[in-house]
Amino acid sequence: MAFPWEEVFWVLLDMDGTLLDKHYDDYFWETLVPQEFARRRGLSLAAAKDEVFARYQREEGTLNWTDIDFWSRELDLDIPAMKESIRHLIEVHPDAEEFLQFLQEKKKRVILVTNA
């Protein structure tokens, strides 16, 4: 059975992991942040990961989870500058452009719903 596109008027899309590949965010939060945290505090990478991931876990599900200003203060790191330094890693998710073109051809209204 084909998807009933004729019954759809609005399409709500997230940006990270839907329109943009998640590699950028995953690399940033799982690799770069712990590396910089370790460097700035003179910790081993393993110790830094333990500390950073424990802090992530405490905030998961809260408004702080997606607040880069919070993480800048919490970790004493310049999160916006760090994100900018690897912006070249941001890539469009495979098939996203084709899907957006499809939605345009079907005359569907598209809304971007994201915290990015």
Q: Which domain holds residue 81?
A: 23-90
**In 3D, which of 25, 23, 24, 45 has the Cα closest to residue 35?**
45
Work out the pLDDT band at 114, boundaries 50, 70, 90. confident
SS3 for 109?
strand
Is residue 52 located within the same domain as residue 73?
Answer: yes
Q: What is the model's pTM? A: 0.82
Is residue 61 located within the same domain as residue 8?
Answer: no
Which of 80-99 are b and which e, b meaning 16 or more Cβ less than 10 Å from the residue's Cβ? eebbeeeeeeeeebeebeeb
Is residue 31 located within the same domain as residue 59?
Answer: yes
CA dist 83 and 68 (Å) reads 10
Work out the pLDDT band at 116, boundaries 50, 70, 90. low
The DSSP call for residue 18 is T
Is residue 36 located within the same domain as residue 8?
Answer: no
